[in-house]
Structures are given as structure tokens and as C-alpha cells.
Chain A
């Protein structure tokens, strides 16, 4: 199957509005985390949800369009992290395809791996373009690692390792339980239904 055909298979039926919802969810989930004072971003939840229920290409589209739109709506630095969200969409879709979203403990393991992968991809961007300063609370950790004698790239990577796996594991678990609670009738409408139903 060519790439175009693979994308075409994923983007049929309910996938288009669902991807659109995933994008909007990525961009608005902050409204809930801030209101509940949860110290995590969880801003890949839409991408993960779409990658699990539809597939990796849909996940990639969700993540990259969400960041593009975030850039368009006043947050231009989000644009530089499109490579990271592409990896998140692709890797989550891959894990879902091999059945890792059928068991909660596999989700935990997958979340940790995803977090490490995200940290590896985002470290060069954060260090080269941002000099390790994201203007967030996590910057303190980067400065701590730098003060310990590490260079910027390594410090940013270490910081990523302390926060990304937690963020992604929690996101994975939330998506796992969300999907588990969905009526089978609804799940069966999606291409990735077999990813989550035995």
C-alpha cells in the first residue's frame, strides 16, 4: 500500500471530525489542568486519543495541526515542536497497533518509553532554539543540571527525562481508561477499534 493509500484508509468516515476534535482538545485541555491545578501539561491527550482510535497517520496530523494552530493563535513557539508531536503521534499509533492499549501496565511502559523518546527529540530544539529556557517552572531543573556542570543539551535532556515520562504515562493511562469506558458501539465506528478491543 502506498503512503497516500494508507493515509486515505485512515482518513475516512468519522476520522475527519474526530481528528478535528483531537486538535481542539490538545489546545483546550490546559483550561482543565489549570482550573484543577494539575502540574502536568497533558497537551498531547488529543493526539494520543486519535492515534489510538484511528491510527498513526491520523495521530501525526492531529499533533502537527494542533501545534500549527497554536502558533497561529498567538503561541508561535509551538511551531518549533512539530517534530516532537509527529513522533508522539507515530509512536503512539505504532504501540496501539501492536496492542499495547489493551492492558494498563503496557500503557504505563509505553508512556515511559514515549516520554523518553519525546525528551530525546525535544532536547535539541529546546537547547538550540531556546537555550534551554522555556519560560516554565521546569527551567529551574535545567539550570540546576547546568550548574552541576552539564552542557545545555544534556541538561535539557535530563530535565525532559524527569518530566516527560510522567506527563506521557499519565496521558496514556487517561486515554486507556477513557477508551475503556466508551460504549463498544461507538468504538467500533473507528478504524483502530481492534487496537483497544480484544
Chain B
């Protein structure tokens, strides 16, 4: 089974609707579902090895986030009854609930974005945006920055080593280290500006006309719109029910 980019985006929208409108008790199962989908359901599986590592990193972040948010707010938001006491620390009910609400909402919002990007090649996403009418220069910016992203860490290491070798104070006091920061950034920016100018000229020399949109790019995607229809309908239902619930209170 395949899901096209707009289908996945509608799914993210559904996740965001739930995150903002439904209570945390509903959203925890949604988070579990997202995690399960990311590991078992092909359209949501990470497409690259590095995308797989995002999940382990995010999992650690999410667990810590829940602990800190729940713990700190339980302590600091002193409303309602004390839920439990840990040695001398009182944890209040309102604070614990607030911590849970915020952390579950944040995790659902972030996780849906993470799953979307981990399961989609960024180039495909850029091309999809272009097919929607985003000017080609914007798409070129995205693709070129990925090109620079591949090169830059290596270049930083090179400049860092070169500056360290000629005695830049990379391990001295904070003021000296700030100067070292400048010594590293300066050649990096200079060489990159030279490169940008050359690349800009080269693109122009090939007749690259800016801001032209390219609507005839069509993604190789299934024609079925069932999924995006289902996700969007579900989101709409949640929004309508929430409005009714809000009005009746």
C-alpha cells in the first residue's frame, strides 16, 4: 500500500487537530499508534538510516520531557489537592495534569512531523511543493542547501583543524574562544560567498530564470484520494464536535 505526500500531510493535520483539541487521555493511544505505524506500516517507515536514528533520539527526548514537565509543574503549580509526596516535595494535582497535557500535546505534534519527514525523502517533498506552485527558485534553495549541508560539516572540520594548527585559541578562556569562533567562521563564510557568487553566475549562465513556477511536474502518486478524504473528514468531525462541546459549556 502507498500513501502519497498529500495523504500523509492530511494525517499530520489530523494528529495536530487531536493534539490541540482532544484531552491527553485520548492522545496517548494516538502517540502509541504513530510509533507502531512508524515501525510496521510501510508508508510511515523511515526511508533512510539516519531517519531511523531520529526516532531513538526523539524517544529519549520525549521520555525526559514528560518527566521534567510533569515533575516541575507538579511542584510549581500549587493548585488543587496534593497528589503525592516525595520525601519533602509535594506534587499538586493541577500541576501534574498540566504537565501531562502539555507534554502529550507536544509529543503528538512533534512526532507526527517527525514521522512525516522520516518517511518522506526531502527532495520529494520539495518537488511536491513545486507541483503545488511554489516558485522553482524556492525549491532550488532547498535542494542547494541540502548540497551545502553535505559539504559544510567537512569544511568546518577542515577550517577548525587549520586554525588550530596555526595557533587559534580554541581551548583558552571564553573571550579567546569567541575570537577563535570568528577565525573559523570568517574563512568559511568567505569561501562560501565566493562559491555562492560562482554558483549564482553558473546558474544564470545556463539561463536559469528565477521565480518561474513549474506546475507540470507531477508526482508519481496513486490516484486514489480515499485516504486524504478520510483524514480530512475525521479532522473536521473532531473540530465540529469540539466547537459544539465548547458552546454547550
Question: Are the chains A and B members of one assembly?
Answer: yes
Interface pair A61/B138, CB less than 8 Å apart: yes
Looking at the complex, which one of A16, A69, A174, A177 makes contact with B200 (CB distance below 8 Å)?
Answer: A16
Q: Pick from A15, A21, A80: contact of B192, CB below 8 A.
A: A21
| In contact, A21 and B211 (Cβ under 8 angstroms) | no
B43 CB to closest chain A CB (Å) equals: 17
B203 adjacent to A16 (CB under 8 Å): yes
Do A14 and B102 touch (CB < 8 A)?
no
B57-81 CB contact bits vs A (8 Å, 1 = yes)?
1100100110011001100100000
B interface residues, how many (CB within 8 angstroms): 71
> Using Cβ atoms and an 8 Å threshold, which residues of chain A touch B88?
none
| Stretch from A83-91, A92-100, A101-109, A128-136 contacting the other chain | A128-136
CB pair B186 A178 closer than 8 Å: yes
A17 neighbours in B (Cβ, 8 Å): 144, 195-197, 199-200, 203
Residues 1-40 (chain A) with a chain B CB within 8 angstroms: 4, 7-8, 11-21, 23-25, 27-29, 31-33, 35-39
Docked complex Cα distance between A129 and B215 (Å)? 36
Partner of A129, one of B105, B148, B178: B105
Checking A49, A131, A147, A181 against B98 with a beta-carbon cut-off of 8 angstroms, the contacting residue is A131
Q: Do most interface residues of chain B lie in helix, strand or loop, or is the interface mixed? A: helix
A65 within 8 A of B: yes
**Does B156 lie at the interface of the complex (its beta carbon under 8 Å from any beta carbon of A)?**
yes
When distances are taken between beta carbons in the complex, the residues of chain B under 8 Å from A42 are 181
A129 to B, closest residue via Cβ: B106
Q: Is the CB of B58 within 8 A of A35?
A: no
Q: Residue B141 contacts which of A14, A23, A131 (CB distance < 8 angstroms)? A: A23
Contact with A along B104-120 (1 / 0, CB 8 A): 01100111011001100
With A12-B210, A38-B174, A69-B145 as contacts: A133 and B68 at CB distance below 8 Å: yes
8 residue pairs, one from A and one from B, having the closest CB atoms: A14-B200, A20-B144, A24-B148, A74-B54, A131-B102, A20-B145, A18-B196, A17-B199
Known: A12-B210, A14-B196, A38-B177. 12 other contacts (CB 8 A): A15-B200, A16-B140, A24-B152, A72-B122, A74-B53, A79-B113, A80-B109, A130-B102, A133-B68, A133-B69, A182-B193, A186-B197
**CB pairs A–B below 8 angstroms (12 shown):** A11-B137, A11-B210, A17-B203, A20-B145, A24-B145, A31-B153, A38-B178, A69-B122, A74-B58, A76-B110, A133-B69, A143-B76
Q: Interface of B with A (CB < 8 Å)?
A: 50-51, 53-54, 57-58, 61, 64-65, 68-69, 72-73, 76, 98-99, 102-103, 105-106, 109-111, 113-114, 117-118, 122, 125, 137-138, 140-142, 144-149, 151-153, 156, 160, 170, 174, 177-178, 180-182, 184-186, 188-190, 192-197, 199-201, 203-204, 210-211
